[in-house]
Chain A
């Protein structure tokens, strides 16, 4: 095969490039650079631009994706046919294993419900979700994102979580009217607050474009082992608590990597969770205190202020009432002159009383 260009045409047209064309090229390169920096500085403008384009492109992509998906399905079916016997065997084993788990889950669910009734606990389980179809993969070696075919008109907002039955996929970063972009948890820019299910250590799941995102900001001294489950912590609001994320796949020199539960290769649909931040137990802790069941509990000093080992200091700190009559007698000239004697500052009773004890 020897492709030769249309040399005659080319020679005729060769000298047409004037200074103006070169100027146009240079100008456009500058404009593109300008857009890049604008995208960093003023994300809103560029975002609106992007969502407008994706809104237009999404129906086209949807139409284009349909035949591709059909072909994929056929290929997948053929592949499954070949492995039907082993698959069946595997599934049968899994069913028998899961049946016992099912019984356990039912028992725990009933137990949980009764505990919740006892505590009058209103759980954060009022999530609604919208299913979305993936119409485009964010492509390129540096990007892990995807476009879905729903947007603001379906009630989607920025920051919401995208999940499958298996676990967390990512979160919504851009929303148009009928399209939205989901940043996968493996993307370089993805940061998800998570918990180690066993031990409840908090951490951040940081993507780095590899298939196995890292756990960072783990508390010092946390010991992790491969196989431990990671779930979302719900800190920070938009993500619900307890969505499965993945399992610890390797712990290597302090670098903890997580294998996400999501099967990226078979991802066709995702669910976008509409999550009410107000109901979050952790994210709204300040707001939750006055209305929660704790309002009836008497106020206690901050944990950590009172060292349990200190014998002399613990008594006045825990019981300010007996200390109050002591203060005017001994320490009144020193401490209590500006304030009313009944309301000493938290540190005040600690200072004079050891002196009071020491003198007799």
Chain B
């Protein structure tokens, strides 16, 4: 039965790749990088990752996991608890509902789709902040953050496509 155990362990390890990578992105975003103003324009890597897996393997990234990733992000970033989770779940829901549209499209088309979804996510994040703080604060940093996120999307996709080969085919 030893082979069976290792096989199962292997399968299990592959299954947690989407969730694990998303969490890793959350941690990675939190690292202090001494670049001027970097902390306010950190790319939303977890958002890109959730989008990617929601389109390609939603089964391996169930909503509960997205929720947990969102909470982890809120905790580390110091955002109001739950706000990041709402944004990630919205992105997840949007991506899953449109996944048929995203399939068999060229990369550029998916990228444009991501731009729309990320814009909605950024707007939602801003709205939640306004509600939470009770103060209208236009933010240029939010715009830059959005632009950096969509600019980095090809790189994230490239990385995740590499990881995708390890993921079991059932998802």
Give the interface SS of chain A, mostly helix, strand, loop or mixed.
helix
A57 touches B27 (CB 8 A): yes
Complex alpha-carbon distance, A142 and B140, angstroms: 10
CB interface residues, A 1-40, toward B, < 8 Å:
1-7, 9-11, 13-14, 16-17, 21, 24-25, 28-29, 31-36, 38-40
B64 touches A138 (CB 8 A): no
Contacts of A172 in B (CB 8 A): none
Q: Answer yes or no: B79 CB below 8 A from chain A CBs.
A: yes
CB distance from B152 to the nearest CB of A (A): 14
Number of A-B contacts (CB under 8 A): 202
Give the interface SS of chain B, mostly helix, strand, loop or mixed.
helix
B137 touches A146 (CB 8 A): no
Given contacts A24-B64, A137-B42, contact A142 B32 (CB under 8 A): no
B76 touches A68 (CB 8 A): no
Considering only CB atoms and an 8 Å cut-off, how many residues of chain B contact the other chain?
A: 74
Most A CB contacts (10 A, CB to CB) among B56, B67, B106, B161 go to B67
CB distance from B130 to the nearest CB of A (A): 9
B70 touches A3 (CB 8 A): no
Given contacts A50-B75, A60-B27, contact A35 B82 (CB under 8 A): yes
A141 touches B132 (CB 8 A): no
Contacts of B56 in A (CB 8 A): 5-6, 10
A142 touches B76 (CB 8 A): no
Stretch of A103-111, A192-200, A262-270, A326-334 contacting B (4+ beta carbons < 8 Å): A262-270
- Measured CB to CB, the nearest residue on chain B to A65 is B31
Q: Which of B29, B59, B102 contacts A13 (CB 8 A)?
A: B59
Contacts of A76 in B (CB 8 A): 34
Q: Which of B39, B93, B96 contacts A137 (CB 8 A)?
A: B39
Complex alpha-carbon distance, A2 and B107, angstroms: 5
CB interface residues, B 125-148, toward A, < 8 Å:
125-126, 128-129, 132-133, 135, 137, 139, 141-142, 144-145
Complex alpha-carbon distance, A189 and B134, angstroms: 11
Closest 8 CB pairs of A and B: A35-B82, A138-B78, A141-B141, A136-B30, A36-B82, A32-B85, A139-B42, A137-B39
Which residues does B use to contact A, with CB under 8 Å? 27-42, 55-56, 58-59, 62-64, 66-67, 70-72, 75-83, 85-86, 89-90, 92-93, 96, 99-100, 102-107, 110, 125-126, 128-129, 132-133, 135, 137, 139, 141-142, 144-145, 154, 157-158, 161, 164, 169-171
